[in-house]
Amino acid sequence: MFLKTQTPMKSVYMRVPYNHFNTNYSQMKVIAINGSPNKGGNTFHALQMVGNELIASGIDFEILHIGHKMIHGCTACNKCAANKDEKCVIKTDDLNEWIQQIKQADGIILGSPVHYSGIAGTMKSFLDRLFYVSGANGNFFRHKVGAAVTSVRRTGGSVTFDSLNHYLNYSEMIIATSNYWNVIHGAGAGEVLGDAEGMQIMRVLGKNMAWLLKMKEATTHSIEPPQIEKKEKTNFIR
């Protein structure tokens, strides 16, 4: 562990003994979105595996199940950008409540089953509106710790994992990783419990995510985060 110390002339790094670590973390929380229509299906199990490691590290963990709801897609009205009230103008679902719930969390996990080699439809509608509202309102997921997981019977896992990561990347989130793509294999509910490698991927992800959260918390007062930049939009034609 190295801490940066400032002097008028130069900055130097010095080694800090282990007992310097601040272990008095404020209670942190991770919210995991289950984008599967199945409440106790494979995506749920994958999220729970990650969550078990977070809980073991003293971090609160909650699964928000949205994959069985009727959730409208983004209509591209851009009212969230005009109104700047952290809300989507579509009122036929509970998205605005979920936005505030997710905003309170220190970490966010996006979980989706693979449907036709992509994010499940309801989850895609949810994510488009959630992240569009965030982006239009000062990017309030910026620097939260994020991760994506997907469950799949056979193929389409990595493309779905990549697609989920787009939301995290765009939002300048700090992405937790594992020792492979965060994909677990199974068809019927619970079959993923037979995928030893997939389960390890989820365990390692949970441990790494807990560590990242604690590192971020421990440096809140010692390392200043970069200022947000105003977004350049060139659209490739101008």
Using CB under 6 A, which of 77, 175, 187, 215 touches ligand FMN? Answer: 187
Structure tokens that stand for 142 in this block: 């910026």
12 three-state secondary structure = strand
Taken as a whole, the chain contains a residue count of: 238
Shortest distance, CB of residue 181 to ligand FMN, whole angstroms?
14
Q: Taking CB under 6 A as the criterion, which residues in 105-144 touch ligand FMN?
A: 113-117
Using CB under 6 A, which of 5, 155, 169, 220 touches ligand FMN? Answer: 155
* Nearest residue to ligand FMN on Cβ basis: 41
Q: How many residues bind ligand FMN (CB under 6 A)?
A: 19
The residue among 64 and 136 lying less far from ligand FMN, judged by its C-beta, is: 64
Under DSSP, the state recorded for 236 is T
Using CB under 6 A, which of 154, 230, 233, 238 touches ligand FMN? Answer: 154
Q: Is 152 in the site for ligand FMN (CB under 6 A)?
A: yes
User: Which residues, in sequence order, are CB contacts of 130 under 8 Å at separation 6+?
Assistant: 95, 98, 99, 102
Q: What residues does 76 pair with on adjacent strands?
A: none
Shortest distance, CB of residue 120 to ligand FMN, whole angstroms?
7
The residue among 34 and 134 lying less far from ligand FMN, judged by its C-beta, is: 34
The residue among 122 and 134 lying less far from ligand FMN, judged by its C-beta, is: 122
Shortest distance, CB of residue 32 to ligand FMN, whole angstroms?
12
Q: Is 100 in the site for ligand FMN (CB under 6 A)?
A: no
Shortest distance, CB of residue 194 to ligand FMN, whole angstroms?
12
Q: Is 153 in the site for ligand FMN (CB under 6 A)?
A: yes
Mask 30-69, x = binds ligand FMN (CB under 6 A)?
A: ------x-x--xxx--------------------------
Q: b/e string for 46-67 if b means 16 or more Cβ within 10 A?
A: bbbbbbebbeebebebebbbbb
Q: Is 163 in the site for ligand FMN (CB under 6 A)?
A: no
CA–CA distance from 78 to each of 73, 75, 130, 132, 136 (Å)? Answer: 13, 8, 13, 9, 8
Query: How many Å apart are CA 42 and CA 36, to the nearest integer?
Result: 8
Alpha-carbon dihedral 199, 128, 30, 216, rounded to 10 degrees:
100
User: Which residues, in sequence order, are CB contacts of 36 under 8 Å at separation 6+?
Assistant: 42, 43, 44, 67, 111, 112, 113, 120, 123, 151
Footprint on this chain of ligand FMN (rule: CB under 6 A): 36, 38, 41-43, 113-117, 151-156, 186-187, 189
